[in-house]
Amino acid sequence: MIIELGHFALILAFCLTLPQAFFGLVGAHLRRPHWMAVTNRAVAGQFVLTACAFGSLAYAFNQNDFSVLYVAQNSNSALPTFYRFAAVWGAHEGSLVLWMLVLSIWTLAVAAFSGSMPQAMTARVLGVLGLISAGFGLFILLTSSPFERLWPAAADGRDLNPLLQDPALAIHPPMLYTGYVGFSVPFAFAVAAMLEGKLDSAWARWVRPWTTVAWMFLTVGIALGSWWAYYELGWGGWWFWDSVENASFMPWLLGTALIHSLAATEKRGLFKSWTLLLSIAAFSLSLLGTFLVRSGIIESVHAFASDPGRGIFILVFLGVCVGGALLLYAWRAPLFRSNAGFAPVSRESFLLMNNVLLVVATTFILLATLYPVFLDVLGLRKISVGPKFFTATFLIPMLPLALLLGIGMHAAWKKATFEKTRAKLTAIFVGALAVGVVLPWVVYGWHSVLTTVGIVTALWIIASSLLEPIERLRKGHSLSAGVIGMCIAHFGFALFVLGATTVESYKHEMDISLRPGQSTQIAGYEIKMTGLRNVQGPNYDAVESEMVITRDGKAVATLHPQKRTYRVQTSAMTEAGIDAGWTRDLFVAMGEDLGDGAWSLRVQYKPLVRFIWLAALVIAFGGLIAICDRRYRQRITTDATEAVASDAKTA
Amino acid sequence: MWRFLLPTVLFAALVTFFAFGLHRDKETLPSPLIGKPAPIFTLPHVEDPSQTVSNAAFAGKPYVVNIWGSWCVGCRQEHQTLLEIARRNEVPIIGVNWKDDRAAALEWLQTLGNPYAQNAFDGEGRVAIDWGAYGAPETFLVDAHGTVIYKHIAPLTLDIWDREFLPLIGLNARSGAAQ
Amino acid sequence: MIRKMFLTVLAALLCAQSAFGIDSAPAFADPAMQARYDSLIRELRCVQCRSQSIADSNVFLAADLRRQVREQMAAGKTDAEIMQYMTDRYGDYILYTPPVTARTLLLWAGPVLLLLIGAVAVGIVIVRKSRLPYIDPDDPDSKRADAPSEASAS
């Protein structure tokens, strides 16, 4: 009964998206305040109803209601409660309801925090978001409903995919969706601005916090996925350039470009076309990612159950949304041309290069991901593109970007002479060069030129991003949250470069077979297998080995890697034993039972690998600080003219 | 003015490409063996390990090579089709038993029937690799000149046999045959 | 349709059984050979499992292909010969790095072309913008055009 109510709630929610869209867009066009007010009510109602639909699914999972087909396919009575809740978004249908819920929460947030915006703009934004919600609601109701019944009810469910029975991966989709879906907000703002025919600094200032928050969540979501893959998939890899990973990374790259482009639009009214196109593109790539993962067009270890029928729906939706926005752009873009200029060396030119390099990087990834499909559709031979190709092409634009970042941070608007900072920047570059060449050599040994370039670049950015805050604090000047946030985020980026370069250059990996009592050596550590035993988990049986790690005779850690067999799906999974540390991870994973008490193991030494995920947290934190800047908290006046006047003063 | 339409045009091209891509068969790998001479193998018999089987003995006439295993679910599905093809006696089927347990394979043949003219035991999997096999069942058609002319992946059905294999062999689908 | 479903199920069943593939001991005593072996097996895709290299997959085809690589290396074949052996049987798909042919020209040339286009675009925009006045009536900054410019918050 609850499920049927939930289904009904979703239908009503879909129905509410229609007036939300209509009254928002038409009301703004006709300048009717009463119509526009309807939009806000529709938004609130839609949120409540979508939450009810989601809640009904959660309830069905919690109650182990196996008469619901989706529950029977994704849960089991032995599944721990936390994972029963996470199973709601464990497969295609439920994850779409999560998508709709997240979208309704974003829409509600925009409605709630739009006090400083004119009503017409708010109404348009909510209207566009309503159209997007309508599309997804229709998609769920017509092709992917999780509310189907199974009759007769199954005695027990098929259990959640064991790979998903993990805390990090349970949280990963909500984080990721908050990011992905959040890019619909700048998209809606872009469409609203184009409809209104007006795009100014005030607009940029409204959009920036929304974009940054979405981007923050996407950063954390991607990092969670990477971290999970590292400890769960047993290979110790943290990025595989898998199609689905790329599908989430490409919007992130464009989101980063968007945040930076908004800076120029806000400050000097420049790059309006860039900002509009990036807003459209970031959300398009989010939708494209959805399409790639759920339509079956691309093979991937992550892909949901694929269905060309669903693929067509998403493709049409993508075509309408993005095609519509781009046509709007073609019509309105001439209006937004700016006559302002800037010097060849200026903050603006650095931001321009930043935009171009990020877009180029995104295009490379898109090209390499889609090329095999392209050849296949044309009937030419099948090829595949592996991780090395991706990494190599990705580094081509990213290395220059990283190097230019160190300088660009200190460039002034309109014309940058670097007269105050030139000496210091040169000094820290030389310092970074010296330390970057010598230190890794001393600690780990020589690897390659690329390694040195990576580490020097990382140190260069670290020092450069700390330069301005330190200078200002020394002189007793104040620091705005925007500047602090920027420095923290760039610092985080440098940490990432440092961690990624170090771990990929200096990692050790070894396949070995051991039986209890035997030991092996890696990177100066001795690893000894001291025992093997059988354990039973709530829904799995496992063989657990005890591995004692010592260095120079001193105890370092004891690990308990397991090889699990989940009872319901009878699939085998390895749980790696990891000794985590800031300077290195030691990683042991069990492979196969070779008989006679011997097991094959993969042992790895991973220096500075934790920096990669720490970096993501630091970057997200930087974003958080940046949006706390005072200029985004200009308070709420309902009079549109007053708002515009105060905007002009504080710009 | 027209340059503002460029993003729209590029996007339209992308969407069209996707529309075509939706219906592609991403599972099947085209075989590089098509049009090339069939690899000649000599393997022990499944039934009698002291005897050998070689496809060289079948040269001069078309024959079919079927890669199978008792562990393979799809092989069970296509077994009826193979038995029918064997009954029609148009083309001999050489079986290559891939990475299987001999006892299990023999039991399988005894319980379900043996459509194979000869059955080779590929315990190490070398021959399967030579034929570019990546899953079972896979069925190859070799013509009278010893050239591989067709490969079918996944369980064989009589429909596919009549439509794809027979025309290449130069025979017509027998009308009235039980489907 | 059935065929696709079947193959997906088969692949999923087989892949689900693998944690990841590892040899039970280093393949070669000589570290240089071992390094070459490690890098070769990471260049070949597991055709059964598709999303892993034969280094990481434990399905029997991956193990057999690893054995082939070991035997060929021991027999003195070059990397190119080993790769040729694999593509003769499985096509270009088995290679992680696509070959440079007429078909893949766009893929290999793409990055270079895009960079060139990007560089040209940046050049054109900068040249054009540097000729325009740094002041603009629409620009809220224009009132402070005379103020000393310092690196300010973005």
* Interface contact A377-B1, CB threshold 8 A: no
pLDDT band (50, 70, 90) for residue B1: low
Q: What is the pLDDT of residues A55-100, one digit of tens each?
A: 999 999 999 989 999 999 988 888 888 898 999 998 889 999 999 9
Pick from B74, B129, B155: CB nearest C64: B129
Domain boundaries, chain C: 13-94, 100-134
What percent of chain C clears pLDDT 90, i.e. is strictly above it?
36
A:C CB pairs within 8 Å: 203
Q: Which of A373, A374, A381, A383 to mutate to test the interface with B (most CBs of B within 10 A)?
A: A373
Pick from B74, B129, B131: CB nearest C10: B74
Q: What is the DSSP letter of C91?
A: -
pLDDT computed for residue C103 by the predictor: 86
> Closest residue of C to A590, CA-based?
C19
Q: What is the pLDDT of residues A210-254, one digit of tens each?
A: 999 999 999 999 999 999 989 887 678 899 998 889 999 999 999
Distance from CA of C71 to the nearest CA of B (A): 12
pLDDT computed for residue C18 by the predictor: 39
* Interface contact A468-C45, CB threshold 8 A: no
* Interface contact B126-C4, CB threshold 8 A: no
Q: Which of C5, C7, C20, C37 to mutate to test the interface with A (most CBs of A within 10 A)?
A: C20
Q: Determine the 3-state secondary structure of B75 from DSSP.
A: helix
Assess B178–A contact: CB distance below 8 Å, yes or no: no
With 70 as the cut, is the pLDDT of residue B175 above it?
no
> Closest residue of B to C85, CA-based?
B130
Residues of chain C found within 8 Å of residue A348, distances taken between Cβ atoms:
129
Does residue A136 form part of some domain? yes
Sign of the four-CA dihedral A313, A315, A320, A322: positive
With 70 as the cut, is the pLDDT of residue C91 above it?
yes
Does residue B144 form part of some domain? yes
User: pTM for the complete prediction?
Assistant: 0.90
Residues of chain B found within 8 Å of residue C8, distances taken between Cβ atoms:
27
> Closest residue of A to C53, CA-based?
A386
With 90 as the cut, is the pLDDT of residue A626 above it?
yes
Which structural domain range is residue B81 located in?
34-169
pLDDT band (50, 70, 90) for residue C140: low
Distance from CA of C118 to the nearest CA of A (A): 6
* Interface contact C93-B124, CB threshold 8 A: no
pLDDT computed for residue A649 by the predictor: 41
pLDDT computed for residue A635 by the predictor: 52
What are the residues whose beta carbons fall under 8 Å from the beta carbon of A103, sequence distance 6 or more?
A129, A132, A133, A136, A181, A184
Distance from CA of B146 to the nearest CA of C (A): 17
Assess B164–C contact: CB distance below 8 Å, yes or no: no
Distance from CA of B8 to the nearest CA of A (A): 5
Burial class (CB in 10 A: 0-12, 13-18, 19+), A214: buried
Q: What is the pLDDT of residues A41-53, one digit of tens each?
A: 999 999 999 999 9
Assess C143–A contact: CB distance below 8 Å, yes or no: no
Q: Which of B2, B10, B22 to mutate to test the interface with A (most CBs of A within 10 A)?
A: B22
The alpha carbon of residue A144 and the mean position of all alpha carbons in its chain are separated, in whole angstroms, by 24
Q: Phi then psi for A556, rounded to 5 degrees?
A: -110, -50
pLDDT computed for residue A302 by the predictor: 66
Beta bridge partners of A83: none
Structure tokens at A245: 């990973």
* Interface contact A299-B26, CB threshold 8 A: yes
With 70 as the cut, is the pLDDT of residue B117 above it?
yes
With 50 as the cut, is the pLDDT of residue A356 above it?
yes
Q: How many domains does chain A have?
A: 2
Pick from C45, C99, C135: CB nearest A386: C45
Q: Determine the 3-state secondary structure of A115 from DSSP.
A: coil
pLDDT computed for residue B172 by the predictor: 42
Q: Which amino acid is at A101?
A: L
Do A146 and A177 belong together in one domain?
yes
* Interface contact B4-A329, CB threshold 8 A: yes
pLDDT computed for residue C121 by the predictor: 93
pLDDT band (50, 70, 90) for residue A118: very high
Query: Which H helix or E strand runs over A630?
Result: none
Q: What is the mean pLDDT of chain A?
A: 90
pLDDT computed for residue A376 by the predictor: 86
pLDDT computed for residue C146 by the predictor: 38
Does residue A570 form part of some domain? yes
What percent of chain B clears pLDDT 90, i.e. is strictly above it?
40
If one compares C2 and C53, the residue with the highest pLDDT of the two is C53
For the residues C41-59, what does the mean pLDDT come to? 85
Q: What is the CATH number of the domain that holds B142?
A: 3.40.30.10
* Interface contact C47-B125, CB threshold 8 A: no
* Interface contact C2-B154, CB threshold 8 A: yes
Angle subtended at Cα A74 by Cα A69 and Cα A75, rounded to the nearest 5 degrees: 100
Do A521 and A631 belong together in one domain?
no
Distance from CA of B141 to the nearest CA of A (A): 21
Q: Phi then psi for A512, rounded to 5 degrees?
A: -150, 160
Pick from B27, B32, B155: CB nearest C89: B32
Task: Give the pairing type, strands A508-514 and A598-607.
Answer: antiparallel
What percent of chain A clears pLDDT 90, i.e. is strictly above it?
66
pLDDT computed for residue C139 by the predictor: 52
Distance from CA of A389 to the nearest CA of C (A): 6
**Spatial separation of the C-alpha atoms in residues C88 and C90, rounded to whole Å:** 6
Q: What is the pLDDT of residues A310-323, one digit of tens each?
A: 888 989 999 999 99
Which CATH number describes the domain made up of C13-94? 1.10.8.640
Residues of chain A found within 8 Å of residue B31, distances taken between Cβ atoms:
none
Residues of chain C found within 8 Å of residue B27, distances taken between Cβ atoms:
3-4, 7-8, 11
Does residue B83 form part of some domain? yes
Angle subtended at Cα B102 by Cα B98 and Cα B105, rounded to the nearest 5 degrees: 70
With 50 as the cut, is the pLDDT of residue C5 above it?
no
* Interface contact C87-B28, CB threshold 8 A: no
Do A115 and A242 belong together in one domain?
yes
The alpha carbon of residue A469 and the mean position of all alpha carbons in its chain are separated, in whole angstroms, by 28
What percent of chain A clears pLDDT 70, i.e. is strictly above it?
96
Three-state SS annotation for B136-173: CCEEEEECCCCEEEEEEECCCCHHHHHHHHHHHHCCCC
pLDDT computed for residue A234 by the predictor: 67
Of A637-646, B16-25, B154-163, C51-60, highest mean pLDDT: B154-163
* Interface contact C95-A386, CB threshold 8 A: yes
> Closest residue of C to B134, CA-based?
C48
Q: What is the pLDDT of residues A603-616, one digit of tens each?
A: 999 999 999 999 99
For the residues A393-419, what does the mean pLDDT come to? 92
What percent of chain B clears pLDDT 70, i.e. is strictly above it?
94
**Spatial separation of the C-alpha atoms in residues A135 and A139, rounded to whole Å:** 6
* Interface contact A308-B22, CB threshold 8 A: yes
Residues of chain A found within 8 Å of residue B5, distances taken between Cβ atoms:
330
With 70 as the cut, is the pLDDT of residue C16 above it?
no
Does residue A372 form part of some domain? no
What are the residues whose beta carbons fall under 8 Å from the beta carbon of A274, sequence distance 6 or more?
A261, A355
pLDDT band (50, 70, 90) for residue A301: low
Assess C146–A contact: CB distance below 8 Å, yes or no: no
Does residue B7 form part of some domain? no
Do A589 and A638 belong together in one domain?
no
Q: How many domains does chain B have?
A: 1
Q: What is the pLDDT of residues A486-541, one digit of tens each?
A: 999 999 999 999 999 999 999 998 888 898 999 999 999 999 999 999 999 888 89
For the residues A539-558, what does the mean pLDDT come to? 91
The alpha carbon of residue A346 and the mean position of all alpha carbons in its chain are separated, in whole angstroms, by 30
Pick from A308, A312, A323: CB nearest B8: A323
For the residues B43-67, what does the mean pLDDT come to? 89
- Min mean pLDDT across A175-189, B8-22, C14-28 is at C14-28
Nearest to A88 by CA among A143, A4, A162, A164: A164
What percent of chain C clears pLDDT 70, i.e. is strictly above it?
72
With 50 as the cut, is the pLDDT of residue C149 above it?
no
pLDDT computed for residue A389 by the predictor: 93
Q: Phi then psi for B125, rounded to 5 degrees?
A: 85, 5
Q: Neighbouring chains of A at 3+ CB pairs within 8 Å?
A: B, C
- Residue window 98-137, chain C: list those with CB within 8 Å of chain A: 98-99, 103-104, 106-107, 110-111, 114-115, 118, 121-122, 125-127, 129-136
* Interface contact C122-A409, CB threshold 8 A: no
pLDDT computed for residue C79 by the predictor: 92
Does residue A240 form part of some domain? yes
Which structural domain range is residue A533 located in?
508-607
A:B CB pairs within 8 Å: 63
With 80 as the cut, is the pLDDT of residue A403 above it?
yes
Assess B134–C contact: CB distance below 8 Å, yes or no: yes
Residues of chain A found within 8 Å of residue C20, distances taken between Cβ atoms:
233-235, 574, 589, 591, 602
- Residue window 59-88, chain C: list those with CB within 8 Å of chain A: none
